[in-house]
Structure 1
Amino acid sequence: MADLDPSLPWLDALKWDADGMIPAIAQDASGRIVMFAYMNRDSLQETLACGNAVYWSRSRKRLWRKGEESGHFQKVRSIRTDCDGDVLLLEIEQVGGIACHTGRESCFFHELNGDRWVPVDPVIKDPKDIYQ
């Protein structure tokens, strides 16, 4: 793969997939990965404009303003890309401490134990109380 070309305009320097998407990892200040999603050009530009994470929802087929339903917004502190320019890393402040729609701190709460995935992180808030 070719390295990121810093001479290109910032959006053009990124390597978008065939659908115009780029993977985005959300990491809190402690270093914990709390979420993975996709962004397109519009969602990345809106993220920069408003300061909160905006993703592309592949299931909804529209921009997804993280926290629009739950109130659990992600304030973006910095955006980085890897050496190839094909992945984004968002350093975020997770408002309310809940990133996952299951009411957990992180979407990465299943751990492989033998031949089974086991939920290892507690539910902070019942999703029924979040999505009313």
Structure 2
Amino acid sequence: MKTIGAAIGLGLSLAGCAATPAARPAAVGQVAVPYNPIGLERVIGQDAASLTRLFGQPDADIREGTARKLQFQGRFCVLDAYLYPKDGQPPRVTYIDAREPDGSTIDRASCVSALTRREGGK
């Protein structure tokens, strides 16, 4: 009986020494919004001239090699359109990202819709 009690006591004391995985802190900041192309048909696949007709003059035009990023800012959101060339064709939008002016996440299609109504857009 003493042996069983000693074994249980030893087991319990060793269990406290076992390595336990560190708890991961909750992610702070933004939550990734899944990329959904619905509602983005007016933007995806367009060239820079088409975006300018749709939204007005970009607030930023950044080029890096053959890639280009056009940024459009409105009252409700900021839209980054990434244009890349393919098969010798002029650069076209292959991806867009959107956020509220404070950096929080916003639905991309909602941002596109809001920017088409901003002053300077058509």
TM norm. shorter chain > 0.5: no
Q: TM-score, normalised by structure 1?
A: 0.30
> Greater Rg, structure 1 or structure 2?
2
TM-score scaled by length of structure 2: 0.32
Which is richer in helix? 2
